[in-house]
């Protein structure tokens, strides 16, 4: 079935599929085992213009928006949900600049980001501010022409490998979430260093690190939008990035299903391929149905974003929560279809199960998404009554 994609989008999808099969699949197990960062793949993606996809043409991008981003992320994640994150995590880090950057800030950073000369990261989470994003403790104090940043960000995707970070800090802690501001911080800024690099269950090819700020002097012109806009910028960024995480989950699910189908066609028990058993066919059917439902939900949100829809918080949360659950379900079923072999590292599907798990946790847990969806439903009902 075609998804009524434009020629350009089909080109991006097919190119991503090719890169995934030819370049990523052969090295996925290596990066999973070693936890090294896949610089060779990032360089390939940069050479092949992947980092241009979601950036406006004016700044050296391809202007393919959210739909371009989700299609590329899905296909890359089909081969490895960890390696794809160097790419998707960069989109997350760039999102605040795309939405809230001044013309000067965009001119300064976007062309290099589009060229893939630097990766990006998004620093919101702190040890005491996870689901409760408004509880950020990091501070930003204006001192002449600079803001002085102090605090710690942790679990930051692309931490240690990115050169460009968007950081949320409190410029007016008395105001709570309304006192947060967003800053562009470059690697190498004095007072900015990297802390602990995490050793993770899955997405092991992705770099996850602590960012430490000790009297870090950030030029005043690196403030995004205005003081006090930090929480809103973070929320809007997450609204835009959640379909991207959903597409990472979708790719993981599709990759696990691909392996399960192939395995079931060739594995023989009781004198026949296990694919001839209804028990296996029903599993494959349930996996495929949920994947297709998730894909349509994600593409629907992405299309609406690209069409200029402003109110998609609920749908973005639905796409993220639903697809993350689908990825976990499908990857677990894939391991089941592989049986004992599925549990062994020698076979690919246990990695999909480990990679899938994080999609239910990061960029807002499944529980936070449900809370966002529930609140939106109640708000919609209330606005209809009044």
Residue 232 as a binder of ligand COS (CB under 6 A): the answer is yes
Q: Which of 126, 210, 239, 350 binds ligand COS (CB under 6 A)?
A: 239
| Catalytic residue status for 363 | yes
In angstroms, what is the minimal distance from the CB of 241 to ligand COS?
Answer: 7
Report the alpha-carbon distance of residue 136 to residue 2 in Å, rounded. Answer: 44
Q: Which of 146, 197, 217, 236 binds ligand COS (CB under 6 A)?
A: 236
Report the alpha-carbon distance of residue 20 to residue 232 in Å, rounded. Answer: 35
Residue 372 as a binder of ligand COS (CB under 6 A): the answer is yes
Q: Which range of residues in 16-24, 103-111, 129-137, 189-197 is near ligand COS by CB under 6 A? A: 129-137
In angstroms, what is the minimal distance from the CB of 188 to ligand COS?
Answer: 23
Residue 152 as a binder of ligand COS (CB under 6 A): the answer is no
Residue 167 as a binder of ligand COS (CB under 6 A): the answer is no
Residue 368 as a binder of ligand COS (CB under 6 A): the answer is yes
Q: Are 94 and 224 in contact (CB under 8 A)?
A: no
Interface with ligand COS in residues 344-363 (CB under 6 A): 362-363
Cβ proximity to ligand COS, 59 vs 122, nearer residue: 122
Report the alpha-carbon distance of residue 147 to residue 167 in Å, rounded. Answer: 12
Cβ proximity to ligand COS, 149 vs 291, nearer residue: 149
Residue 166 as a binder of ligand COS (CB under 6 A): the answer is no
Q: Catalytic residue among 198, 214, 363, 380, which?
A: 363
Q: Are 82 and 203 in contact (CB under 8 A)?
A: yes
Residue for token digits 């809370």? 371
In angstroms, what is the minimal distance from the CB of 313 to ligand COS?
Answer: 4
Residue 235 as a binder of ligand COS (CB under 6 A): the answer is yes
In angstroms, what is the minimal distance from the CB of 124 to ligand COS?
Answer: 4
Q: Which of 124, 184, 216, 223 binds ligand COS (CB under 6 A)?
A: 124
Residues of this chain that bind ligand COS (CB under 6 A): 122, 124-125, 131-134, 177, 231-232, 235-236, 238-239, 313, 362-364, 368, 372
Q: What is the set of active-site residues?
A: 363
């Amino acid at each position: 079935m075609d998804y009524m994609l434009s020629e350009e989008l089909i080109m991006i999808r097919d190119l991503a599929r090719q890169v995934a099969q030819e370049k990523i699949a052969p090295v996925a197990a290596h990066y999973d085992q070693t936890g090294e960062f896949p610089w060779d793949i990032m360089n390939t993606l940069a050479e092949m213009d992947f980092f241009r996809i979601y950036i406006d043409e004016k700044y050296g991008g391809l202007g393919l928006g959210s739909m371009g981003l989700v299609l590329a992320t899905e296909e890359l994640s089909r081969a490895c949900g960890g390696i794809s994150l160097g790419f998707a995590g960069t989109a997350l880090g760039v999102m605040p600049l795309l939405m809230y950057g001044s013309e000067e800030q965009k001119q300064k950073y976007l062309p290099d980001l589009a060229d893939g000369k630097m990766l990006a990261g998004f620093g919101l989470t702190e040890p005491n501010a996870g689901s409760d994003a408004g509880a950020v403790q990091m501070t930003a104090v204006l001192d002449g022409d600079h803001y002085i940043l102090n605090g710690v960000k942790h679990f930051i995707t692309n931490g240690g490998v990115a050169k460009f970070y968007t950081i949320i800090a409190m410029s007016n802690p008395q105001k709570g979430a309304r006192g947060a501001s967003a800053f562009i911080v470059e690697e190498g800024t004095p007072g900015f260093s990297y802390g602990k690099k995490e050793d993770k269950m899955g997405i092991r090819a992705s770099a996850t690190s602590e960012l430490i700020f000790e009297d870090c002097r950030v030029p005043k012109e690196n403030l995004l939008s205005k003081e006090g806009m930090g929480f809103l910028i973070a929320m809007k960024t997450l609204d835009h990035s959640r379909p991207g995480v959903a597409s990472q989950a979708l790719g993981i699910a599709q990759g696990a299903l691909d392996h399960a189908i192939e395995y079931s066609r060739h594995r023989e028990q009781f004198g026949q391929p296990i694919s001839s058993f209804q028990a296996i066919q029903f599993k494959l059917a349930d996996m495929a149905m949920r994947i297709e439902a998730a894909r349509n939900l994600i593409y629907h949100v992405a299309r609406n974003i690209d069409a200029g829809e402003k109110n998609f918080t609920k749908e973005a949360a639905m796409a993220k929560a639903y697809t993350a659950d689908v990825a976990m379900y499908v990857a677990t079923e894939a391991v089941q279809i592989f049986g004992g072999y599925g549990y062994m590292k020698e076979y690919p599907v246990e990695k999909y199960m480990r990679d899938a798990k994080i999609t239910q946790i990061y960029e807002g847990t499944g529980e936070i998404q449900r809370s966002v969806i529930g609140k939106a439903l109640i708000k919609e009902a209330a606005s209809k009554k009044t």
